[in-house]
Chain A
Amino acid sequence: MSSINAGDTAWVLMSGALVLFMTPGLAIFYGGMVRAKSTLNMMMMSFAAMGVTTILWVLYAYSLAFGPDAGNGLIGNLHNIGLADTINQVVGSPGHTIPTLAFVMFQLTFAIITVALLSGAIADRAKYSAWILFVGLWITLVYAPIAHWAFASQGGNGGWIIDRLGALDFAGGTVVEINSGAAALALAIVLGKREGFKRDPMRPHNMPLVLLGAGMLWFGWFGFNAGSALAANGLAATAMINTQVATAAAVMSWIAYEKLREGKATTLGAASGAIAGAVAITPACGFVTPLGALAIGLVGGVVSAFGVSRKYKWNYDDSLDVVGVHGLGGFVGMIAIGLIATKSANELGGEGLFISGSPTLLQKQIIAALAVAAFSFITTYIIATILQKTVGFRVRREVELEGLDTSIHAESAYDISSFTTR
């Protein structure tokens, strides 16, 4: 332990806390977006993600994701089960070593937010006990392998995306964003549409909550992206400014798109734009210049703004737009790396098609993105279908119509009547 870098360690510890803060932020963001009758259920899904994922991470999921590669770069082995061989250990490059447990905590918060994101696709209709089972299965069978593929760098013998293919994903465009988008689509299809989808407006019941949650996510994202440098250095600073630039740009491009298409710039559009921009820059934040980030944010905001309306055309009820915002945004970021990544931003990064003239990196980016999307969609579809056919994943119709808060949690978000109603 004597060789740890105090500055780097402080930043990674702080980043772990910042990223954890995103999940309550997501709970508030999503909670405001649903109808009032299922607000608490929506928030409780995020809190279950924090609970279940943390327990499994300590027991075995960290080892599956970041333990020594079991061969072929597909998954880690059980060397670190129960967090064995992590206490008093260090990770990192020479001069930038941090305690392994700081890395364990930082990565845990990524796993939590990723599975929590999926809850947005099945708002107002999922059985809570089935959701808890789903979180455990999904972290084990989907998140841990994909995190290993793209995040477990082990000197060329780790995950296949980062160590063997050589695609670039700085902070989780594949692991978090494309993964959650693809899984969300599978969940939305398996659980089916909410009663009244396309007939009733189902507009957000509390936009101030949505904005508060979006602000918390924006804030926490600095830990997510700049923390992924795993060091308090110039690269972290690049990632931080790029995150700010792309997020801000997508706020403006989303509401501009809305204004042109429908005549109104909505609060929901601004909040969604912030998330879409942060998503799009996530894989790219350590590989592009701030002007590149500006382009990514502008494009990401418009692509996702267009993308979220596809569910009405293609008839799947991705209730809170996980597919359009995270899935599409993740693709925008991954492909952008293949186009505009430059070694002037990060000499350890790569050069995109527009910089070097070579399509090699772009091809790698597309392979990584498609592989993650396909594996995540198929595996999630199977898990959700099994749960639906065994314990039942969707609540009964009467429960859905009454709202999940009173029927599942025996509470309601807004008990503000002056007389007793129940």
Chain B
Amino acid sequence: MKLITAIIKPAKVDDIKAALQANGITGMTVSEASGFGRQKGHKEIYRGAEYTVDLIPKVRIEVLVDDSDKDRILDLIVATANSGSIGDGKVWVTPVETVVRVRTNERGGDAL
């Protein structure tokens, strides 16, 4: 099993959620995040003062998938998150040792 973690623009959450649901994914976790990447911060002017905003609001999406689904879902997320402009985010994949569904105690692929 793999954990796909995607840091994306907040405006892309709904599109990705819909794309995952349409492609048979039955669970995801979404949380608000902030940070910077190569895009770095940007300047903002408010009440006459200019600030560098280092930490930009993003959304983190986490999806557990079977190894066989990994490439398909990874490509799906990347394609959906891509707007072509800077700050589109990053997606990475990490191996997962096991997964347990709390209610039934099912393990591994059955728990997805």
> Which A positions have Cβ atoms within 8 angstroms of B?
198-201, 203, 261-262, 266, 268-269, 308-309, 312
Q: Which of A198, A199, A201 contacts B46 (CB 8 A)?
A: A201
Q: Which residues of A contact B49 (CB under 8 A)?
A: 198, 309, 312
Query: Is B97 interfacial (CB 8 A cutoff)?
Result: no
| Nearest 4 Cβ contacts at the A-B interface | A309-B48, A201-B51, A312-B49, A262-B45
Could you tell me if B51 and A309 are in contact, using CB atoms closer than 8 angstroms? no
Q: Which residues of B contact A268 (CB under 8 A)?
A: 47
User: CA of A268 to CA of B47 in the docked complex: distance in angstroms?
Assistant: 8
Could you tell me if A261 and B44 are in contact, using CB atoms closer than 8 angstroms? no
User: CA of A39 to CA of B46 in the docked complex: distance in angstroms?
Assistant: 21
Could you tell me if B51 and A308 are in contact, using CB atoms closer than 8 angstroms? no
Could you tell me if A269 and B48 are in contact, using CB atoms closer than 8 angstroms? no
5 CB contacts below 8 A, A to B, read A201-B44, A201-B53, A266-B47, A269-B47, A309-B49
User: CA of A309 to CA of B53 in the docked complex: distance in angstroms?
Assistant: 19
Residue of B whose beta carbon sits closest to that of A307: B48
Q: Which residues of B contact A269 (CB under 8 A)?
A: 47
User: CA of A308 to CA of B46 in the docked complex: distance in angstroms?
Assistant: 11
User: CA of A266 to CA of B45 in the docked complex: distance in angstroms?
Assistant: 11
Q: Using an 8 Å CB-CB cutoff, how does the interface string of B25-66 with A read, 1 for contact, 0 for none?
A: 000000000000000000011111101010000000000000
Q: Which residues of A contact B48 (CB under 8 A)?
A: 261-262, 308-309, 312
Q: Which residues of A contact B44 (CB under 8 A)?
A: 201
Residue of B whose beta carbon sits closest to that of A312: B49
Residue of A whose beta carbon sits closest to that of B49: A312
Residue of A whose beta carbon sits closest to that of B46: A203
Residue of B whose beta carbon sits closest to that of A268: B47
User: CA of A268 to CA of B46 in the docked complex: distance in angstroms?
Assistant: 10
Q: Which of A200, A261, A262, A266 contacts B51 (CB 8 A)?
A: A200
User: CA of A203 to CA of B44 in the docked complex: distance in angstroms?
Assistant: 11
User: CA of A200 to CA of B53 in the docked complex: distance in angstroms?
Assistant: 8
Knowing that A308-B48, A309-B48, A309-B49 are A-B contacts, what are 10 other residue pairs whose CB atoms are under 8 Å apart, sorted by A's residue number? A198-B49, A201-B46, A261-B48, A262-B45, A262-B48, A266-B46, A266-B47, A268-B47, A269-B47, A308-B47
> Which of B44, B46, B48, B51 has its CB near the most chain A CB atoms (within 10 A)?
B48
User: CA of A244 to CA of B46 in the docked complex: distance in angstroms?
Assistant: 27
User: CA of A201 to CA of B51 in the docked complex: distance in angstroms?
Assistant: 6
Q: Which residues of B contact A261 (CB under 8 A)?
A: 48
User: CA of A76 to CA of B49 in the docked complex: distance in angstroms?
Assistant: 44
User: CA of A308 to CA of B45 in the docked complex: distance in angstroms?
Assistant: 14
Residue of A whose beta carbon sits closest to that of B44: A201
Q: Using an 8 Å CB-CB cutoff, how does the interface string of B68-98 with A read, 1 for contact, 0 for none?
A: 0000000000000000000000000000000
Residue of B whose beta carbon sits closest to that of A262: B45
**What distance in Å separates the Cβ of A19 from its nearest Cβ neighbour in chain B?**
28
Residue of B whose beta carbon sits closest to that of A258: B47
**What distance in Å separates the Cβ of A125 from its nearest Cβ neighbour in chain B?**
18
Q: Which residues of B contact A198 (CB under 8 A)?
A: 49
User: CA of A268 to CA of B45 in the docked complex: distance in angstroms?
Assistant: 13
